[in-house]
Amino acid sequence: MKIRTLKLREAHKSSTNSFCSILWDQQASHLVTASSSDPSISIHDPLLPSSNAPKILRHHRDGVTALALSPNSTCLASGSIDHSVKLYKFPGGEFETNVTRFTLPIRALAFNKSGSMLAAAGDDEGIKLINTIDGSIARVLKGHRGPVTCVAFDPVNEYLASVDSTGTVIFWELQSGSILHTLKGVAPNTVSDASILNVLCWSPDGETLAVPGLRNDVVMYDRDTAEKLFSLRGDHVLPVCFLCWSPNGKYMATSGLDKQVLIWDVDKKQDIDRQRFDERVSCMAWKPIGNALAVIDAMGKYALWDMVVPSSMKSPTEGIPSLQSKNSNGLLLFEEEDQEPSASGSLSDIGDDSLGESEPPSRKRLRKRSEFNEELDEGINVELDSLLMTEPRKKVHRAGKENSDKGNEGLRSKIASVRSKMQEAFQPGATPLQLGKRRFLCYSMLGTITTMEHDGYSHIEIDFHDTGRGPRVPAMTDYFGFTMAALNENGSVFANPCKGDKNMSTLMYRPFSSWANNSEWSMRFEGEEVKVVALGTAWVAAVTSLNFLRIYTEGGLQRHILSLDGPVVTATGFKYQLVVVTHVSDCLPSNDQVLEFRVFDIANGTQPFRGRLPLSPGSCLTWLGFSEEGQLTSYDSKGVLRVFTDQYDGSWLPLFSASKEKKSDENYWIVGLNSSKLFCIVCKSPDLFPQVMPKPVLTLLNLSFPLASSDLGADALENEFIMNNIHLSQIQKRMEEMEATGCVTTALDDEAFNTEAAQDRCILRLIASCCNGDKLVRATELVKLLSLEKSVRGAIKLVTALKLPNLAERFNSILEERLLNESRVPLSNGVSTASNVAVTRTTLTSTVNNEISEPSAPLSSPKLSAPLFVKKASKHEKEKTDQKIPSKVERDREPRNTETVKNAGNGNSSGAKVAGEASKTQPQRPIVLPIMKTSNKPEAETKGDTGEVKAAINPFKKSSK
């Protein structure tokens, strides 16, 4: 192989070996160089280096040890031995800010894919993740025991890789800041020479991490498992000191301490060209739009190596992989078509004697980070061993990346039955962690709790939606790193997970007001971690990693400790009720979560309800809470809202479906609900949750059942009918509870009567729709559900106006039977209402005969299918009745006069007269309700006289007289 020589040009003067840096911008129109022995930065014109002098940036007081250019080439970052990190505008070079400072020299800088985050590290302990928008420190990653010499964000912005001077490589998860893998001693030890910095580099597709090895080679590691895949070993006789991938990932350039630069074909694992230099090459950069390589040696001289790859081979810029990054919110979504795991091994904490090579495990495990964390069944493992051992690089790729390996098809078929990961615990109303951004710890109908991490601490603020509620709650400095919170009218509770052995999980309660000083309290857990917190009236609850439910009083007294049946998913509280949702078992083969809910009554120490929590197929639970009326509610990832009711011994009613409401580019983030409206925040796809700033806007959506398309064409009326029934049952339950405690139910009586009347109006409109649609059987079923006698008479008048004599006669019979049933109740004056039935029969018969010309055969009275709803008198009616005569219900409660009833039943004229007078004096209950739509069909289709139909549908409307 012919060895060529390149002409180098001096960029920085140096008398000794130094670590020098070189960068291309995105359009390959500028080259940036720096040296650890020179405090200046040079921006060169690569096209005319002789005629155009470089632009010099002099802002550091000591040598520049690190450079980084944002992906869009608008921001340049530099780190120096003077402990500072500076930002400049590019390519102009205008100084912007000192973004951060260290106590020791900086050695490494890197931008993430979007340029919003800058990682900085050096001789100090910890890697700082800096928000470039406002300069805040989003997180500090601590785990290295030596100076960090290189950091690199993976192209899909999920992981960060770092290496130190002792040769230890760490994989970090950006979302949580946790360590995924630690590879000890896999790279050369460079502690003794500050001019040599260990490096690492992600492949352009993000699937492989390249690290200099201990055998003068380059070792490739898998991104998800940190498993060694293969190595590039050739003519380097001394350790590799720098490496970089070509833009398409097909080639790699490596420089060694032997003063050679080798170009590798990565797929063939062999070098295709080389270049020998007089000095060690300390940094290289592939030209982004061309077949060239920029190099700079340890003495500060740089050069351009054109035609690096032979023209007979594929260009280094051809076929650059296009990446589909994850959502900006950092969440891993579960897509049915992408439920595929990737090959995984077990490799962590490798000792020095291993020389960086891990022995392949005898039984491979198949999993995908953040999607699968359960081991496969032994039978599946045996079948997959041969596939994974022979071709470790054949992995399942992420969505958006084309997969041409045919071997993966067989892999997919064998893992089709693999169970999905069980849902992690979450706090209702909280948003996920976003580096450098403020997030919600709690968002409820009452208010919000927000937090933002800054310089290792967090700033927590509590705001109420009703600003006139009381004095503003002062902000709090969070030294614990709280990640979950709950809020009610009396106070707030916070908790944080474990962060190592020294930082234990902490639970803290903070009351908003108290008669005593130092009323705030906290609890610390050793060997235990808080997963979810909840708050109610005079109690605080926390569910921990040991499946313990710990209940405290408002003053901090440890009241109860209960063992739960499985790992917690979430919990919520309302007054004296606490609801905890736990896992029952592993996920089903259909990826369905198996969850159970338990309702605890803290005041009485009981458990009123317990059962399975229903979810949509293939979904997970995303929100749990109570309505303003105190009804337990759940919401799943498929957009179905369910409300728990004690009907049928405890059932869940689907009251909302996002698929019928939302647009294709919208997601609903639930905040709360009342009896008729759902409060949510509409997020534009792909966002699943809102940002704190700007302040989110609440959207109100109507609750509605997912009804099937009826042949009646009155879906809105049918939905209103079911909703009114639920509302009535809720009122009844509340009245029973109040009566049991001896409370006055006057207000609920009025509400029940108004709801009852509104339901009758809805039923009358449904009857009109049934008549227009010739659904007479359904109309008969509906008339039996009318609560008020006046409504039944209105239904008779309605069908009479619609010229339906048979139906009118049937309605008449239903009314007669209802009156007969009521006549069995004794009256206070000893007179039965049987005579009223006779009078009513005569009146109705004459009315029908006068208005309907067609003769009709008498019908037998059908039996009522259900008892009548107990009608409640309104407050206005009670006051009016007290001034005149006892109401009908009060008369019914007095003893029966058997003789009088008997006489009345025999048709005694005096009894009939008395009954008639009593019926005249019986007061009518007034009601004022909004006018509702009668039917979905136009009025022109209504049979009979329009005025008569309208009057019949609205029997409560007062006469013009």
**What would the DSSP string read from start to end of 573-621?**
EETTEEEEEEE-SSPPTT----EEEEEEETTTTEEEEEEEPP--TT--E
Residue type, 468: G
* Residue 811: predicted pLDDT: 92
* Residue 143: predicted pLDDT: 92
**Of 406, 245, 432, whose CA–CA distance to 328 is shortest?**
432
* Residue 951: predicted pLDDT: 60
Say if residue 694 is preceded by a cis peptide, omega within 30 of 0. yes
Radius of gyration of the chain (CA): 39
Range with the lowest mean pLDDT among 192-196, 362-366, 746-750, 895-899?
A: 362-366
Average pLDDT, the chain: 78
Convert the pLDDT of each residue in 446-470 to its tens digit.
Answer: 999 999 877 667 889 999 988 776 5
pTM: 0.50
pLDDT at 165 over 90: yes
In three-state secondary structure terms, 389 is: helix
Convert the pLDDT of each residue in 906-958 to its tens digit.
Answer: 333 333 333 343 333 344 444 333 333 334 444 334 444 555 555 666 655 54
* Residue 838: predicted pLDDT: 45
Location of structure tokens 């029973």: 736
* Residue 956: predicted pLDDT: 55
Convert the pLDDT of each residue in 91-141 to its tens digit.
Answer: 899 999 999 999 999 999 999 988 889 999 999 989 999 988 778 888 999
CB 191 within 8 A of CB 165: yes
Convert the pLDDT of each residue in 631-652 to its tens digit.
Answer: 999 999 999 999 998 888 889 9
- Rounded Cα gap, residues 354 and 214, in angstroms: 10
Helices (H) and strands (E) in the chain, counts: 13, 53
For the chain, what percent of residues have pLDDT higher than 70?
74
pLDDT at 391 over 70: no
Instruction: Identify the helix (H) or strand (E) that includes residue 876.
Output: helix 875-883
Assign 374 a pLDDT band (cuts: 50, 70, 90).
Answer: very low
Convert the pLDDT of each residue in 663-680 to its tens digit.
Answer: 677 889 999 999 889 999
CB 433 within 8 A of CB 439: yes
pLDDT at 959 over 90: no
- Rounded Cα gap, residues 121 and 148, in angstroms: 6
Contacts of 297 (CB under 8 A, 6+ apart): 8, 20, 277, 278, 279, 280, 281, 282
* Residue 302: predicted pLDDT: 94
Going from the C-alpha of 898 to that of each of 827, 829, 830, 904, 909, the distances in angstroms are 11, 11, 7, 10, 17
Give 656-664 contacts, CB < 8 A, sequence gap 24+: 656/701, 656/703, 656/704, 657/706, 660/704, 660/706, 661/701
pLDDT at 844 over 70: no
- Rounded Cα gap, residues 415 and 214, in angstroms: 37
Contacts of 511 (CB under 8 A, 6+ apart): 490, 491, 519, 520, 554
Torsion sign over Cα 555, 556, 560, 563: positive
Convert the pLDDT of each residue in 144-162 to its tens digit.
Answer: 989 999 999 999 889 999 9
Convert the pLDDT of each residue in 577-608 to its tens digit.
Answer: 999 999 999 888 888 999 999 999 999 999 99
Range with the lowest mean pLDDT among 10-14, 110-114, 245-249, 874-878?
A: 874-878
Range with the lowest mean pLDDT among 369-378, 497-506, 649-658, 717-726?
A: 369-378
CB 920 within 8 A of CB 748: no
The tokens of 702 are what?
């109507």
* Residue 473: predicted pLDDT: 84
pLDDT at 431 over 60: yes
